[in-house]
């Protein structure tokens, strides 16, 4: 890697190029199916572990701003899941044990499951109704086979790649851009008003 590409702006440009590459290769039918599930769900639940969990929470917040009944799995105020609801999972590996368990419960209840992942051949993908593959451009998920929970407990949560987008960084960045693009598509489909969204912003400090 030349010196120009190791600057902060150089890393940003490489990440932006990676996102553009993912957008160009994204299966439009998968994205359309994901959007259809969002528009038809009675309520939307989100789940993810680690930084993918933060992406999930950001997506839930934007859905709430659009007037959806959106909940984060594991929060104390989250109501029971039903067969009319949709679970959205963000998981690069698609194998995180705690998230797999959540998906199996949702499947047993009869609700829909949508997965955003870097590993479309994973355990979660096999039970999901809709899978959107972001790709694994750095090869992180194809190399790292140790479960997320084990890496956290044993201190193995470290980079196995070059300095560029270590660990699952690129997946998480792509996933939040994808989720924001879905929000834009929902706004277009529902002709949402920005003023209505602003009215739902938190005003309790």
Per annotation, catalytic residue among 28, 144, 172, 188? 172
**pLDDT tens-digit map of 143-202:** 655 554 444 444 554 443 455 545 557 899 999 999 999 999 999 999 988 888 788 888
Quick one: which of 203, 204, 202 has its CA closest to 62?
202
> At CA 160, angle to CA 154 and CA 162, rounded to 5?
145
Residues of the chain with pLDDT > 70: what percent? Answer: 82
Catalytic annotation present for 75: no
Question: What are the chain's domains?
Answer: 11-196 (3.40.50.10490)
**pLDDT tens-digit map of 44-61:** 999 999 999 999 999 999
Mean pLDDT throughout 105-109?
A: 98
What pLDDT shows up at residue 118? 93
> Average pLDDT over the chain, rounded to whole?
87
């Amino acid at each position: 890697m030349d010196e120009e590409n190791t600057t902060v702006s150089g890393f940003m440009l490489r990440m932006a190029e990676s996102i553009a590459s993912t957008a160009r290769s994204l299966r439009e039918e998968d994205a359309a199916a994901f959007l259809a599930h969002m528009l038809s769900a009675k309520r939307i639940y989100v789940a993810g572990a680690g930084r993918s969990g933060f992406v999930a929470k950001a997506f839930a917040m934007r859905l709430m701003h659009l007037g959806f009944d959106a909940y984060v799995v594991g929060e104390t105020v989250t109501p029971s899941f039903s067969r009319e609801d949709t679970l959205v999972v963000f998981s690069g590996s698609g194998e995180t044990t705690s998230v797999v368990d959540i998906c199996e419960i949702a499947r047993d209840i009869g609700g829909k499951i949508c997965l955003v992942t870097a590993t479309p051949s994973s355990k979660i993908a096999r039970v999901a109704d809709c899978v959107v593959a972001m790709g694994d451009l750095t090869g992180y998920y194809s190399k790292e086979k140790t479960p997320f929970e084990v890496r956290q407990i044993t201190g193995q949560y470290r980079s196995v790649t070059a300095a560029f987008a270590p660990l699952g960084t690129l997946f998480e960045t792509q996933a939040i851009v994808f989720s924001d693009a879905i929000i834009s598509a929902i706004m277009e489909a529902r002709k949402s008003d920005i003023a209505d969204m602003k009215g739902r912003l938190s005003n309790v400090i």
